[in-house]
Structure 1
Amino acid sequence: MSAILEVSGLSKRFGGVQAVNGVDFEIAEGEIFGLIGPNGAGKTTLFNLINGVIPPDTGEVVFKGETITGMAPYNVVRKGLARTHQIVKPLNDMTVLDNVTVGACFGAEHLPLKAAAKAARESLETVGLADRAEMLAGHLNIASKKRLEIARALAGRPQLLLLDETLAGLNPTEVEHMIGVIRRIREERGISILMIEHLMQVIMQLSDRIMVLNFGEKLAEGQPEEIAHDKIVIEAYLGDADLANRLMEES
């Protein structure tokens, strides 16, 4: 299976802080690739480097065989790479449907309004918000706002979706619902996913492979079982071997 995303030697420093340091990895087409690490490990900075929010000091980002390093975010989206944000910021005074239609208008296919609305409704169906299409986005609870954030990204018809802590702040029932949404995105739409998540049982359950960041550097990469039993990862992040065993049993 060919790589949809190739990251090589990516680095970024902010003053005296080396936020990301020489990170290399690849994501295959159709793969769910998990990104974990302690707070401050550089995970969101890595997302920002990939989708063009900030330029790297060194390194290269190749998407579908094309170098997109330092490309502006709106151009990255046009290439077929979309993302969500940890802190959701919907257009509160617009309807749920209109929020998602905006994503379609400025997505990979730059759809005209009628086609964008159709794509928006399809995305709302995928995330389970079709029945709230005419509701003002500001009236949604946090779980629904997170689903709205995903729908807005999906409406742009990406081939790679970056999810930044989509499950943060959700209760167990909401988490299970979101797991189903993420699986549908891959299974029904064939979209590759790069996801940051702190809920370890979820990342182990969903990911085909996982990369661990620590102090901006890649600590480990491999299948969930390999990561859960990696001694260096346990020491730096998971904490103990018993936890690792429980995570694998739950997944």
Structure 2
Amino acid sequence: MKPAILEVHNVTKAFGGLIAVKDVSLTQYQGEILGLIGPNGAGKTTLFNVINGVYKPTSGEVIFEGQKISGLPPYEVVRRGLARTHQIVKPLNEMTVLENVTVGACFGPQNLPLEAAQEAAAEVIEFTGLGKYADVLAGKLNIALKKRLEVARALAAKPRLLLLDEVLAGLNPSEVAKMLDVIRAIRDQGISILMIEHIMQAIMSLSDRIVVLNFGEKLAEGSPDEVANDPQVIEAYLGDPEMAKRILEEEEA
């Protein structure tokens, strides 16, 4: 077993009387793709927001590479080597693709000056297949390209752990396939990935392990096969045994 890169210990996040995440613990290992699934409102994005510093946990703590990061602001978390994308894409619309990705490169652990950040951004743009759009304003891209730009901007910070929040949502099958290739290529560079996704065939095929949230609590954890065959997961999320069987068959195909 490789060393842990991320440890979430008994994290709870409450908003007044609403408990969005309740006593969740998980461990992610270096080089691993860890899937995070669950119904809408299960607390997945809230947990992401706690991990990357948008929210301070009500209780519990987040450990990244052996150091506590819970309570740090997002810009400090990025400096430590943990970057994320957003479920709703947030490009800087009046800036070009290259300029958007350069912003990401400026805020990584290396604290690159502008010229070096532009060079790093250009490499990431080519890596993610955005090279021919480098001089296009981000606001003119379609949703699939904006999703890829979101990934490129986070990747330009040279993270060791990348959090992907529904990067496949809204994409057609061809676009999904291209994004899956990008995600696998990122993993092949040695970058650990924690990802939220609702496209079950994709998350099952990509993930080494999966954590399931339901009503803010951890419902299950295990390999894709174990999770897809868990009766509690089937009842809460997958719908019925036949759907779980179909997902596994499509994954194996």
* TM-score for the superposition, normalised by structure 1: 0.98
Q: Specify the alignment match of 1:222 in structure 2.
A: 222
Counterpart for residue 238 of structure 1: 238
| In structure 1, distance between residues paired with 2:123 and 2:34 | 24
Answer whether contact 1:126 1:185 (CA < 8 A) is retained.
no
Structure 1 partner of 2:112: 111
**Offset, 1:131:** 1.3
| 1:80–1:107 CA contact under 8 A, matched in 2 | yes
Match of 1:90 in 2: 91
Match of 1:192 in 2: 192
Amino acid at match of 1:190: G
The amino acid across from 1:13 in the alignment is A
CA offset at residue 17 of structure 1? 1.4
1:59 alignment partner, SS class: strand
Aligned partner of 2:144 in structure 1 is 143
Q: How far apart are 1:242 and its partner, in Å?
A: 1.0
Distance in 1 (CA, whole Å) between partners of 2:14 and 2:137 is 40
Rounded to whole Å, the distance in 1 between the matches of 2:89 and 2:182 is 17
Q: How far apart are the structure 2 equivalents of 1:99 and 1:165? A: 20
Alignment correspondent of 2:204:
204
- SS for the counterpart of 1:6 is strand
Q: Which runs of 4+ in 1 moved over 4 A?
A: none
Q: CA deviation at 1:109?
A: 1.1
How many pairs are equivalent?
250
User: What code does the residue aligned with 1:70 have?
Assistant: G
Cα deviation for residue 121 of structure 1 reads: 1.1
Aligned amino acid, residue 172 of structure 2: N
Q: CA deviation at 1:125?
A: 1.5
Counterpart position of 2:8: 7
Partners of 1:209 and 1:219 lie apart in 2 by: 14
Name the CA distance, whole Å, in 1 between partners of 2:77 and 2:28.
Answer: 17
SS at 2:55's partner residue? Answer: coil
Q: Could you give the per-residue CA deviations for residues 87-143 of structure 1, whole angstroms, max 9, x where no partner exists?
A: 111111111001000100111211011110111011111211011111111111000
Supply the distance in 2 between the matched residues of 1:208 and 1:122 (Cα, whole angstroms). Answer: 28
With structure 2 as the length reference, what TM-score do the two structures score? 0.98
Aligned ranges 1:14-25 → 2 under 5 Å: 14-25=15-26
Q: Give deviations 1:160-216, integer Å, cap 9, x for gaps.
A: 0000000011111100110001000011x2100000000001000100000000000
2:128 paired residue number: 127
Moved more, 73-82 or 241-250: 241-250
Amino acid at match of 2:29: A
- Percent same amino acid at aligned positions? 67
Counterpart-to-counterpart distance in 2, 1:49 and 1:72: 10
Q: Is the 8 A contact 1:9 1:58 kept in 2?
A: yes
| AA aligned opposite 1:59 | G
Q: What are the Cα deviations for residues 221-248 of structure 1, in whole angstroms up to 9, with x where unaligned?
A: 0000000000010011101111111111
Distance 1:206 1:183 in 2: 8
